[in-house]
Each structure stands twice: as C-alpha cells, then as structure tokens.
Amino acid sequence: MLSAWRAFFRFLVERDRTMRDDPTVGLKAPKSSKRLPSVLTPDEAVRLVTIEGEGELAMRDRALFELAYSSGLRLAELAGLDVDGVDVAHGEVRVLGKGAKERIVPVGAPARVAIGAWLATRVPFAAAGERALFVGSHGRRLSPRSIERRLAMWAVRQGIAQHVHPHMLRHSFASHVLQSSGDLRAVQEMLGHASIASTQVYTHLDFQALAKVYDAAHPRARRKRAK
C-alpha cells in the first residue's frame, strides 16, 4: 500500500506544478514480523525417521530421513550426495553446500546403521555406474521432488499431524542440537551458514520452548493463567 502511495504522489509532483511536497518522503514502512521455522518435537522426529520395513524403498527412506535429521542437510545436498560422500566408519558426511562450499558434518549412530543397511541393499538396486547414494526405483539418482513426496507420505503413515517437508528436518536438527548444547557457533558450522545471523533464528525457537516450560511450571505463571 505504501509503495502505491509513493508512486501516486511521485506522479502528482511530476505532473502538477502547484504541488511542491511529497508527503510520503521519509515515510518508513512498518517492519513485518519474521516467521519462525516450523520444527518437530524430538519425539515426533524420532517417530518419523523410525521406519519399519524390510523392503528396499523402506530401507532407503529410513537411511535418507535419518541422515537428514542427524546431520541437518539441505534437500539439494541430500539429493546430490554420492556414495563416496559418506564415511560410515568415521561417522562423517561430506556435502557441497551453497556457493559450492564443502563442509563435513557428523553423522549419528542410528543414521550410520541405517545407511549401512541401505548400502548393502543398494548394490543390486542401483543402475550400473550410478554414483548417487540415494536412488529411485529405476536405479537412478533420487530427485528432490521424490524426496519431498516420500517424506510427506511417511509423515502421514507415522501419525505426524502437520505437513512435513525436508527443510523441517533441518530446522528440527538445528533446534534440538541448540537446545541440548547451547553452542550456536557449532550449529552454524554444521548447517553451513555463512552468517551467524542466519543461525540465530533457532535461539528464538529455543526461547519459545523455555517459555512453554515456564508457563507450565512457574507458580506465578500458573496463577496468572488461571485468572
């Protein structure tokens, strides 16, 4: 609305010589509130990635989602990951992030187990010469859109009420690690953020969690809520 008024008064000043002042000059737009990223609770995240099933696709999806939550990878990083990018023995994954910047991120024990099981299944499943860690039913690299669909499907099956997308696992990873460690700089490094400002949004999520605990536990908070 403010942009429209600015354009309108610029037009009037240019066309009407009797109009000397533009009332919109120096008028600043109100700052819109920043939306905090949606995250899963730790219980929801664990329930989501704990996929039961012995089929190839179930094993692949468990390895995929365990890795996403364990290491906080972006969707493009998951889809672009090659077999040689994961070191199961040492618990590390090497990814190429934004700006072609490479980083090494730790991989948790459940994710290592799931990836190891998938690697054993992947050999006859993948097409000849395919380097991708995660492949589809035709043996070729799994697309980002396919990962999104599989995650949304499993979220429904696992009883997660809200719509789940891959970036939500990344947000959940960052929020849960920050809540446990309080180490903002380490979370920044693992996420591959160029600026600490990008990571600081998770401190707001951490404060929200603390505020809920306060509201539920503090005598003053309970008394105020009762009124």
Average pLDDT estimate for 7-34: 84
Q: Which of 62, 74, 122, 176 is catalytic?
A: 74
| pLDDT beyond 70 at 157 | yes
> Is residue 140 annotated as part of the catalytic site, yes or no?
no
Q: Which of 10, 90, 98, 157 is catalytic?
A: 98
Q: How many helices (H) and strands (E) does the chain have?
A: 11, 3
pLDDT at 218: 54
pLDDT digits (tens, 9 = 90+) for 59-72: 999 999 999 999 99
Collapsing DSSP to helix, strand or coil, 141 comes out as strand
| pLDDT beyond 70 at 125 | yes
| pLDDT beyond 90 at 221 | no
Average pLDDT estimate for 39-44: 90
Q: Which of 112, 170, 171, 176 is catalytic?
A: 170
> Is residue 141 annotated as part of the catalytic site, yes or no?
no
pLDDT digits (tens, 9 = 90+) for 177-186: 888 787 888 8
SS3 content of the chain, % helix, strand, coil (to 5): 60, 5, 35
Q: Is the pTM of this model over 0.85?
A: no
Q: How far is CA 22 from the centre of its chain?
A: 44
Longest dimension (CA), the chain: 81
State how far the Cα of 177 lies from the Cα of 69, in Å rounded to an integer. 11
> Is residue 112 annotated as part of the catalytic site, yes or no?
no
State both tokens at 90. 């040492």
> Is residue 98 annotated as part of the catalytic site, yes or no?
yes
> Is residue 193 annotated as part of the catalytic site, yes or no?
yes
Relative orientation angle of helices 144-157 and 56-71, to the nearest 10 degrees? 100
> Is residue 214 annotated as part of the catalytic site, yes or no?
no
The amino acid present at 12, given as its one-letter code, is: L
